[in-house]
Amino acid sequence: MRALAILFVVLLFVGCGSQPAPAPVPKAEEPAAPDTTAPAPVLAHEVQSIVTASCLPCHAAGGSAAKYDLTTPENLAKLVVPGKPDSSKLYQVLASGKMPPSGKLDSTRLATFHKWISEGAKDK
- Residues forming contacts to ligand HEC in the complex (CB under 6 A) are 54-55, 57-59, 64-65, 68, 79, 89-90, 93-94, 99-101
Report the nearest approach of ligand HEC to the CB of residue 9 (Å).
Answer: 51
Give which of 7, 1, 82, 6 is closest to 47, Cα–Cα.
82
- Interhelix angle 107-118/40-54, rounded to 10 degrees, is 130
Complex with ligand HEC: residue 42 or 63, whichever CB lies closer: 63
**Smallest distance from ligand HEC to CB 7, Å:** 56
* Nearest residue to 50 via CA among 99, 119, 118: 99
